[in-house]
Amino acid sequence: MDTTLQDPLVGQLLDGRYRVDARVAVGGMATVYRAVDIRLDRVLALKVMHPALATDATFVERFIREAKSVARLSHPNVVGVFDQGADGAYVYLAMEYVAGCTLRDVLRERGALQPRAALDILEPVLAALGAAHRAGFVHRDMKPENVLIGDDGRVKVADFGLVRAVGSATNTTGSVLGTVSYLAPEQIEHGTADTRADVYACGVVLYEMLTGGKPHAGETPAQVLYQHLNTDVPAPSAAVPGLALELDELVASATARNPEVRPYDAVALLALTREARATLGDEQLDAVPPQAHSQAHSQDEVAGAGPEERTSVIPRATLPPEAQPVQHTSRLPMPPPEPRPEPRRGTRRPRGPLLVIAAVLLALGIGAGVWYINSGQFTRVPAVLGQTEAQATKRLTDAGLDVGASKRAFSDVYERGTVMASDPASGERIRGNGTVTLTVSRGPRIVKVPNLKGKPLAEAKRLLAKEGLAAGVVTTSFSQDIAQGAVISSDPEPGTERSPDSAVALVVSKGVPIDVPDVTGDSVAEATGTLQDAGLTVRVATERIHSPEAAGTVAAQSLAEGSRAAKGDTITLTVSKGPRMIEVPDVVGDSTDTARGKLEAAGFDVKVEKTFPFLGDTVSGQSAEGGSTAPEGSTITLTIKGL
């Protein structure tokens, strides 16, 4: 039965523009539909937040952040975002529609993949994440469900719904947001995620592609989380004998439990992946994994149908003991008894007496849960008002406090980017390891464009950012009175009122124009000196060409005489190989017009000398004999004598 028939959105026109045709997928926070933009007559995907979450400002903010973040990424392996909006209870993103399947579908159908196929999928995924990482974003929810494989073979990364700026990943003692099977240890233990959390998830995905199963399994999410914290991801070759050692090392590097020993970001992991591929032969890349292994996994484990595969908010009460904040009194289900392997070098060991006790109880399988006792110790919130968010965060963490997700608000008193309030407030009592939420100023609700004329571009951008504005399109123009690299004008003009984060276009000076001199026919040394004296940079092309100019002299220049250039612009010089030598046609006995035509067609200039012009028009001689060679473009003189 087609369940989309029961979906109230199917068949509806969302926001007066998007006709919802079918439901594609349902996730923990949103549903994805195939739709048509009736305004542009374009098929696209609509990601609609579950109405129950649309009332939560935090989730809506995250949803909108996805639209803004991905819209800034222009990469062929990232699913593009076209639009964002709301229609009543429905908050949505309009995205690129990729006809095909997900990597999860492929793993469900085929199980383990050949190493070549696994790397062919991993590399574009890392390229997409690398672009995000270098742009300052972390995905935070990498998994096979978010890897789309188009019918044309293109691989794209989707669902940047948990994306967050690299510098803003903060500790959340109350919950962890993500997908259990792919969470890095630091996400579980501290709630923090930077680029290395995406690297860890990609290592788990690579393991799954190579083996057909996940590295950690359990009857409950808590058991899986416990293994992420305490057990290394096993070598893929342990599950699929014969896999190359380089693949084991690649997975081990990406999934190191200590983030400090992982590749720093997806760009670094992509480099390691390509190095590993380069060392493998065709036999190793095309090794066929045994199907028996893939079939040995349960349907949930291979297909990812279990609850641990949904992106969800995981309450700390369900996390394993090492991830629990000690101030909470909570009970959690225990994983079955298992041996405790020695941690990989550089990985985290359990700390403190409570954690040691928890580990012993877990190893013995005693009881249904572990209780944490509140120490009852209190401290006071340090003064952080007026400090930058980074300064305030450091001061709070130095005091042993956690910092929750920051809020943003307008303020006419506090500068943009500084703390304007905290909850609890400065000076209030709080438990020794409690959480403080900061409110950071966005600056005034209305800001004025500053006067940037004459300011160097870097300084102009800094001044705009200080006022809460952004530098928009930058164009260049010559100027007689504004120094090169400084701002000539802005759009809007200085003093114009704009809302924060508005873009300001800038025109930057190229300086006083330079009239390019003609250096064709000069030696390379002479030409270089002439151009450099004019304030230009010289480049000499490696390839030489035939020209009428003498061999070794300048045959052509990239900017012709009289062109205008800016100081420091590069002029490329092409050196002559001298004229081409071509064969001279024999035209003796031809009429003047016929002879001229033959010679000009061959590449020569023609000069005619007539002794008695009124007595005839037949060529009786030529300055270069027919059959000989002469420089292309040289002049052949014809003699015309009367009869």
Q: For residues 154 and 137, what is the distance between their CA atoms, to the nearest angstrom?
A: 23
**Cβ partners under 8 Å of residue 320, min gap 6:** 188, 222, 225, 226, 229, 230, 332, 335
Q: Which of 589, 587, 637 is closest to 617 using CA atoms?
A: 589
Q: Which residues on neighbouring strands pair with residue 615, listed in sequence order?
A: none
Query: Is 10 within 8 Å of 21 (Cβ atoms)?
Result: yes
Q: Which of 562, 563, 545 is closest to 554 using CA atoms?
A: 545
Residue 303 is encoded by which pair of tokens? 């297909």
CA 590, distance to chain mean position in Å, is: 71
Q: For residues 23 and 7, what is the distance between their CA atoms, to the nearest angstrom?
A: 8
**Cβ partners under 8 Å of residue 208, min gap 6:** 107, 144, 214, 215
Per the annotation, the verdict on 83 as an active-site residue is no
CA 599, distance to chain mean position in Å, is: 61
Query: Is 206 within 8 Å of 107 (Cβ atoms)?
Result: no
Residue 57 phi, psi dihedral angles, 5° rounding: -60, -35
Q: For residues 441 and 427, what is the distance between their CA atoms, to the nearest angstrom?
A: 20
Cβ atoms within 10 A of the Cβ of 314, count? 22
Output the CA torsion 598→602→605→610 (10° steps): -20
Q: Which of 197, 195, 214, 196 is closest to 205 using CA atoms?
A: 214
Q: Which residue stretches of 351-388 are H helix?
A: 352-364
Q: For residues 531 and 636, what is the distance between their CA atoms, to the nearest angstrom?
A: 36
Given the residues 15, 21, 83, 141, select the one marked as catalytic. 141
Q: Which residue stretches of 52-194 are H helix?
A: 57-71, 103-110, 115-134, 185-190
Active site positions, annotated: 141
